[in-house]
Chain A
Amino acid sequence: MNKFKLWLEQTMMISFAILVGVIIEGAFFSLFGGNPLYEFNMDWLQMVSIVLTGAVCSLPTIIWLTDTDIPKNKFIVRMVLHCIGLYAIVSLFGWLFKWYTQLDGFVFMTVIYFAVYAFTWIVTLWFHKREDSQINKALDDIRDEE
């Protein structure tokens, strides 16, 4: 049940990250695409494709990144595999659902993907550091003297 809950949470998170990427891409091409008549629309199929991609992408996350009791080096290897795996899934689904049709669209999607991936990790690590600091401060008040 916990794995299922985690899968749903991950699906929502990754879908949201992809949605942000697609919106950035749409906004960029609307503003700088050279064609003032370019319209950025999202139909139901695109929404479904984003959720579907999120659902598939959450599987490697559950398989590779939920086991926290592993050495740091092994975790970093898994993280690299995870990053490449997700990139492959996003590229494949992007091609299938026509998020991009030409090379410039693919390059743009690649840049957005790695930016969002790095941003997600930076925010996560920052949250952990903040949490450590809060806990350490609270521990100072209750610690036994020895």
Chain B
Amino acid sequence: MQVRLEKVDNKEQEEAVIKAVEITDEISGAIELLEGDAKGFAVSKDGKTYILKASNVYYIESVDKKTFVYTKQGCYDTKYRLYELEVMLGGYFMRCSKSMIINLKKVRTVKSQISGRIDATLLNDEVVVISRGYVKEVKRRLGIG
């Protein structure tokens, strides 16, 4: 496959376009890598440490200076701060409020409330709040900004 690299001036202009006849395992791997899903990070639960794949994460929350990672299997804690995970994971992981990072790939649907906040229903039926101030960034990440 031919690879073409074009230099851009700022991070917001960065994008990868893959033109392919079909999505092979290699292409899926490349997509995961570019979107940050293939990355793993250390989490712990009941005194045991695990390496958690980013693609398993639903959302990450900071409560009383502790960071909790939520997956389908349950909740883990991690030593990383939200701002570190935000940079580390990138892609479809984004801040949805001051204390939360959401994985947009795990959102089933969004619905605006009269107050302006947005309720996001996740694939596990949990509802998290996206603050109105972050909607512009959500749209940018989804390519509709």
Contacts and interface: CB of A to CB of B under 8 A. Distances in A.
Contact of B110 (A67, A70, A136): A136
Contacts of B108: 139, 143
B45 interface: no
B89 interface: no
B107 A143 contact: yes
Contact of B115 (A72, A129, A134, A146): A72
Interface string B80-117: 00000000000010000000000011111111111111
A142 B115 contact: no
A142 B35 CA distance: 11
Contacts of A43: none
Contacts of B132: 68
Given A143-B105, A144-B123, A138 B117 contact: no
B109 A139 contact: yes
A132 interface: yes
A76 to B, nearest CB: 7
Given A68-B132, A143-B108, A135 B138 contact: yes
Interface residues of A, number: 23
A132 B111 contact: yes
A138 B113 contact: no
A125 B115 CA distance: 10
Interface string A52-73: 0000000000000101111010
Interface string A83-114: 00000000000000000000000000000000
Interface residues of B, number: 28
A128 B109 CA distance: 14
Nearest to B132: A68
Contacts of A70: 115
Nearest to B91: A142
Contact of B116 (A76, A128, A129): A128
A138 B143 contact: yes
A71 to B, nearest CB: 9
A67 B143 CA distance: 28
B11 interface: no
B114 A76 contact: yes
B111 to A, nearest CB: 6
7 contacts: A68-B113, A72-B114, A135-B138, A138-B143, A142-B92, A143-B107, A146-B123
Interface of B: 55, 72, 92, 104-118, 123, 129, 131-132, 135, 138-139, 142-144
- The 6 A-B pairs with the shortest beta carbon distances in the complex, nearest first, are A128-B112, A138-B142, A68-B117, A75-B115, A68-B115, A144-B105
